[in-house]
């Protein structure tokens, strides 16, 4: 059975009730032809010939078995499209989106096509023969509902099937290019199987396992296949087949005070940090830092004058920074946590003697305040005592 959905024109609702109903119908139509975005844990892209693309999305890699014969799915779609051959050809150079829903085992098929007018016109001339070209590609979007198990409903005294979904999107210079893919079925199946194999983990993984795969089977030189362990990668974020991160150097300045035994000492951190930003989430980054940290201590001499003793530590640290935004784009919470070691290069002989080192743990809150519990070992590690630093100014 074939069901065609085609909606044109505008909705002019006169009341909130009508508007609500229109939105509900839009949501139901979207759900008919699309997976829920939060359900997509695997997104795999293949770059075909002449700029065409194949995108496969699913919740679990086990659903790749629904594409064990992708050619049969495309052939069935092409047969159903032929029913509207005249209507599709009449669209000319307008951009077309074709949505197609099917199921395994096969049940009712739903089919929809939409057209979009181009933003401007593009023409080509060859020996005085002028042709109008498409500015953007056509889209063929296939959603496959795959029956998983039967659940018994006491209310209706019947079994209801549960489905998982997989969706295949073809971005084509012209929707009729699907015929070339069908004719070269061995190559297309090889591409699908290659992406499935690349995404499969070496060891069994849990439900949280995610992947993005980028495959360029027609690339002559360079890296043809790339895999990332998250589903949110896009062509732009990964710069096609490049690294999934970028690096930056950032200056670091902290000012605060530290409690050393029974003394309070002003302190400052001055140095550089290396940040590695992961492109799946620019708000999270890894930190490797190297900086100097002077402690300012004061003593009063017999002449009643105060003398300043500056103890210079060289610190190295490693850690991560995490930040999340709320639904209106503002920071809802953030936290930076690092740990490291410090070496004292100039013991003053009064508060610190001999070889002196410290271990520390930094927690930087959203407010910018950094709390640092420390353990200091001095006098050639013969004396060990705890310390606590609070830094009220954190500039990264």
pLDDT digits (tens, 9 = 90+) for 159-218: 666 668 899 999 998 888 999 999 999 999 999 999 999 999 888 777 678 888 999 999
- The average pLDDT across 57-70 equals 91
- The predicted structure's pLDDT at residue 120: 58
- The predicted structure's pLDDT at residue 146: 84
How far apart are the C-alpha atoms of 116 and 110, rounded to whole Å? Answer: 20
For residues 318 and 324, is the Cβ–Cβ distance under 8 A?
A: no
pTM: 0.53
How far apart are the C-alpha atoms of 51 and 221, rounded to whole Å? Answer: 17
Report which of residues 330 and 369 the model is more confident about: 369
How far apart are the C-alpha atoms of 336 and 319, rounded to whole Å? Answer: 8
How many angstroms separate the first and last alpha carbons of the chain? 62
- The predicted structure's pLDDT at residue 81: 82
* 338 bridge partner residues: 319, 362
Strands 129-133 and 2-5: unpaired
| Closest to 32 (Cα-Cα) out of 107, 105, 99, 113 | 99
Per-residue pLDDT tens digits for 84-101:
777 777 666 678 888 999
- The predicted structure's pLDDT at residue 219: 87
| Close Cβ partners of 298 (under 8 Å, ≥ 6 residues apart) | 306, 307, 308, 309
pLDDT at 24 over 80: no
- The predicted structure's pLDDT at residue 73: 92
For residues 150 and 135, is the Cβ–Cβ distance under 8 A?
A: no
**pLDDT category of residue 273 using cuts at 50, 70 and 90:** very high
> In the predicted model, what is the mean pLDDT of the chain?
80
pLDDT at 16 over 60: no
- The predicted structure's pLDDT at residue 282: 59
**pLDDT category of residue 343 using cuts at 50, 70 and 90:** very high
Counting beta carbons within 10 angstroms of the beta carbon of residue 362, is it exposed (0 to 12), middle (13 to 18) or buried (19 or more)? buried
Residue 235 backbone zone (phi > 0: left; psi -120 to 50: alpha; other: beta)? alpha
Q: What are phi and psi of 165, to 5 degrees?
A: -125, 150
Per-residue pLDDT tens digits for 119-159:
655 555 655 666 555 667 889 999 998 876 666 666 667 76
- The predicted structure's pLDDT at residue 326: 45
| Close Cβ partners of 317 (under 8 Å, ≥ 6 residues apart) | 287, 288, 289, 290, 338, 339, 340, 360, 362
Percent of the chain at pLDDT above 70? 74
Per-residue pLDDT tens digits for 284-325:
788 999 999 999 988 887 777 888 889 999 999 999 887 655
How far apart are the C-alpha atoms of 337 and 394, rounded to whole Å? Answer: 13
């Amino acid at each position: 059975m074939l069901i065609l959905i085609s909606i044109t024109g505008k909705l002019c609702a006169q009341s909130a009730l009508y508007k609500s109903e229109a939105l509900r119908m839009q949501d139901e139509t979207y759900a008919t032809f699309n997976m829920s975005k939060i359900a997509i844990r695997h997104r795999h892209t293949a770059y075909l010939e002449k700029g065409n693309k194949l995108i496969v999305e699913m919740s679990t890699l086990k659903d790749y078995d629904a594409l064990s014969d992708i050619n049969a799915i495309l052939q069935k779609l092409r047969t159903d499209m032929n029913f509207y051959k005249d209507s599709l050809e009449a669209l000319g150079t307008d951009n077309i989106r074709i949505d197609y829903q099917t199921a395994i085992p096969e049940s009712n098929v739903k089919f929809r096509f939409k057209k979009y007018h181009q933003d401007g016109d593009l023409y080509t001339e060859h020996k005085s023969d002028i042709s109008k070209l498409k500015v953007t590609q056509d889209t063929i979007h296939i959603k496959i509902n795959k029956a998983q198990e039967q659940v018994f409903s006491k209310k209706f005294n019947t079994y209801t099937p549960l489905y998982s979904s997989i969706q295949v999107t073809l971005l084509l210079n012209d929707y009729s290019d699907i015929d070339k893919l069908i004719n070269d079925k061995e190559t297309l199946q090889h591409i699908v199987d290659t992406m499935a194999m690349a995404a499969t983990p070496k060891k069994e993984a849990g439900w949280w396992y995610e992947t993005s795969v980028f495959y360029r089977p027609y690339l002559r030189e360079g890296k043809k296949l790339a895999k990332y362990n998250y589903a949110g990668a896009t062509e732009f974020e990964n710069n096609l087949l490049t690294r999934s991160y970028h690096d930056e150097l950032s200056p670091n300045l902290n000012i605060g005070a530290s409690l050393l035994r029974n003394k309070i000492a002003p302190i400052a951190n001055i140095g550089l940090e290396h940040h590695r930003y992961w492109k799946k989430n620019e708000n999270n980054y890894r930190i490797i830092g190297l900086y100097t940290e002077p402690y300012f201590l004061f003593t009063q001499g017999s002449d009643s004058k105060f003398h300043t003793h500056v103890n210079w530590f060289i610190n190295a640290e490693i850690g991560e920074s995490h930040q999340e935004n709320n639904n209106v784009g503002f920071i809802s919470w953030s936290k930076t946590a690092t740990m490291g070691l410090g070496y004292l290069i100039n013991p003053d002989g009064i508060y610190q003697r001999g070889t002196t080192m410290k271990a520390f743990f930094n927690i930087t809150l959203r407010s910018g305040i950094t709390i640092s519990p420390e353990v200091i070992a001095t006098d050639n590690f013969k004396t060990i005592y705890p310390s606590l630093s609070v830094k009220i100014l954190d500039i990264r």
